[in-house]
Homo-oligomer: A and B are copies of this chain.
């Protein structure tokens, strides 16, 4: 986008109201569900959101970055807002937020996971703009538990909580042919995650 070189992104970004931004993210996710990542075009997003393509590129730089940002901002509860005062309480909130995903959401994420192998820039955008902030929020939540004395600062499992959680979500349908519902995930916290952390 040579025409937007030199434009300060922050200044431009501030022109969209938060409401308008939310609206736009919802529309991107809606389109993504309808046509899938490969067939999604910036033209279609511009048309659906009544924006100019120049605006989209100025604010989000690329399709994968816009998609990853839209997914992050349309999540029901951001992990960084969770702070119940106990590790168990926090982890329970984390999985309850994750488990109310509909089959439609799950299909969307499966489609995206598949697309990452064809589109390395999507893979990078999802990791940087969607997964890394979630992992950072989980780390902050675990650090609070360490500070409260609930887990040892050098517990070897500390770096693997995202992996354990990810396993719970992915393995349940694969191994048990059932969705990772709230009951299962809450049991998994008590049976696996807290014991692994020595909590």
Contacts and interface: CB of A to CB of B under 8 A. Distances in A.
Binding site of A, secondary structure by majority: helix, strand, loop or mixed?
A: helix
A109 B164 CA distance: 21
Contacts of A117: 107, 110
Interface in A177-199: 177, 188, 190-193, 195-198
B107 A191 contact: no
A87 to B, nearest CB: 15
Contacts of A157: 191-192, 195-196
Interface residues of A, number: 35
A167 interface: yes
Contacts of A113: 174
A171 interface: yes
Contact of A131 (B123, B174, B198): B174
A133 interface: no
Contacts of A192: 156-157, 160, 163-164, 196
B162 A166 contact: no
A154 to B, nearest CB: 11
Nearest to A127: B177
Nearest to A159: B191
Contact of A195 (B159, B168, B191, B198): B198
